[in-house]
Amino acid sequence: MKMKPSADITNLQKERWARQADYVRSRSAFYRGLELTGRIEELAGLPLTDKETLRADQGDHPPFGSYLAAAPENVSRIHRTSGSTGAAMNIALSAADARMFADVGARAMRLSGLGPGHRVVHCLNYQLWMGGYTDHAMLEASGATVIPFGVGSSERLISVIRELKVTAIHCTPSYPAVLEAVIAEHYPGLKPRDLGLKLGLFGGEAGLDEPAFRTRLEDTWGFAVRNANFGVSDVLTVMAGQSETSNDLHFVASDVLYPEIIAPDGQRKVWREGETGELVLTHLARECQPLVRFRTGDLISITGAANGMTRFRVVGRIDDMVVVRGLNMFPAMVQGVVSQFRELSGEYRITLNRPPPYNCLPLEAELEDGADPEGIAAALETAIKRQLGGSARVTLLPPHSLPRSEGKTRRVIRSY
């Protein structure tokens, strides 16, 4: 996909913010107190919006919150967030919002290699979650033929893939492990790569940036792995994806979103290659629930910012970060080490039974079928210390003892 030069994107962002600022000022009760001039330079001085504030606002002004800027009769579709970081929230889309979500998401899909000639099976939850129908519309907009499978009935899915000669799958990164178990149980002699899938399009969970995890998927399934589905439900379901030539995420939404990064204290950082910070987003075109300077909770590192196309990598979710003796540790980092051990299935869980501080990381790792557990826990602890710098206390679990999920898999469990 060819992107516009930086100068053109900058001018377009200025024009769109001028219109959007006027719209927000006149239509959004939530942001009514902001003195918006319509100059994009003003964004740096505006207050930040976070998830908890929006959640409280929806509780006070159900069902959509006072940040609903369109008339209720103009709401064309209603979704809910997954609720993985708190109570589920209602998301309203106008017809124009829905088209924009599909069109921008399709850019990421095409960048990842999906398009006409592909048959893609869509295996995300259709029950209210944005990843269901909204991502379905995005896949269709890419030009591919879409099979709307949803979640559940994994044994039947294997038959559908074979019968319809499906070439691509769109799901969470943890779902292939579920399918591998189903194949082993119900299809003796069949290997995952025998299904003929050429493209694996993943999103909703961390881990694909870890070479060991990606290599395991590619070796087992024989398809090209793409982290094709980076997004934030409150903002835009898909705004970035990987290309055929780079494992960095390419930000494809510069015409409808204004991105910033901030330090932990909320201070704005310069948007340039090499900088790391929390991603903050402002809508330049959204009718129903426009957001201004929304804190996504995603810590990103910018790896390229030229010619109108920003590239970045996700370090981790701030709410999944575990601080061990001053070191910030994220599930994706841990997964990268776990995936290096062939004696382990790749499934793991971090269970926190008390509030911080933590002297070591309490990690449960699942053994592979037939693996000899002798020395594995100690070896994994050593590898984590050497590669991540922090200490871990590893507990090995029997094969198939950790839950497999057809949706998002929770890697950090806080039971306190």
Determine how β-strand 257-262 pairs with β-strand 90-93.
unpaired
| Burial class, 306, CB count within 10 angstroms (exposed 0-12 / middle 13-18 / buried 19+) | exposed
**Residue 247, helix vs strand vs coil:** coil
Q: How confident is the model at residue 251 (pLDDT cuts 50, 70, 90)?
A: very high
Q: How far, in Å, are 184, 294, 384, 399 from residue 181 at the CA level?
A: 5, 39, 27, 11
**Residue 296, helix vs strand vs coil:** strand
The domain 1-308 is placed in CATH, from the list 3.40.190.10, 3.90.700.10, 3.40.50.360, 3.40.50.12780, at 3.40.50.12780
* Higher pLDDT, residue 132 or 4: 132
Q: How confident is the model at residue 305 (pLDDT cuts 50, 70, 90)?
A: confident
Q: In this predicted structure, what is the pLDDT of residue 307?
A: 60
Q: In this predicted structure, what is the pLDDT of residue 308?
A: 61
Q: In this predicted structure, what is the pLDDT of residue 152?
A: 86
Distance CA 113, CA 243 (A): 7
233 closest CA partner among 410, 101, 409: 101
Q: Mean pLDDT over all residues of the chain?
A: 93
- Lowest average pLDDT, out of 73-77, 205-209, 352-356, 380-384, goes to 205-209
Q: In this predicted structure, what is the pLDDT of residue 168?
A: 98
Residue pair 368/314 in contact by the 8 Å Cβ criterion: no
- Domain 321-414 fold is GMP Synthetase; Chain A, domain 3 (3.30.300)
What residues does each domain of the chain span?
1-308, 321-414
Residue 85 has pLDDT above 80, yes or no: no
Per DSSP, the residues of 130-183 read HHHHHHHHHHHHTT-EEEE--SS-HHHHHHHHHHTT--EEEE-TTHHHHHHHHH
Q: In this predicted structure, what is the pLDDT of residue 2?
A: 47
Q: Which helix (H) or strand (E) holds 338?
A: helix 331-338
Q: In this predicted structure, what is the pLDDT of residue 81?
A: 85
State the average pLDDT over residues 223-231.
95
Mark residue 108 as left, alpha or beta (left: phi above 0; alpha: psi -120 to 50; beta: remaining): alpha
State the average pLDDT over residues 151-156.
92
Tokens of 210: 């870890």
Q: What is the pLDDT of residues 263-303, one digit of tens each?
A: 999 999 999 999 999 999 999 999 999 999 999 999 999 99
pTM for this prediction: 0.86
384 closest CA partner among 352, 339, 326, 415: 339
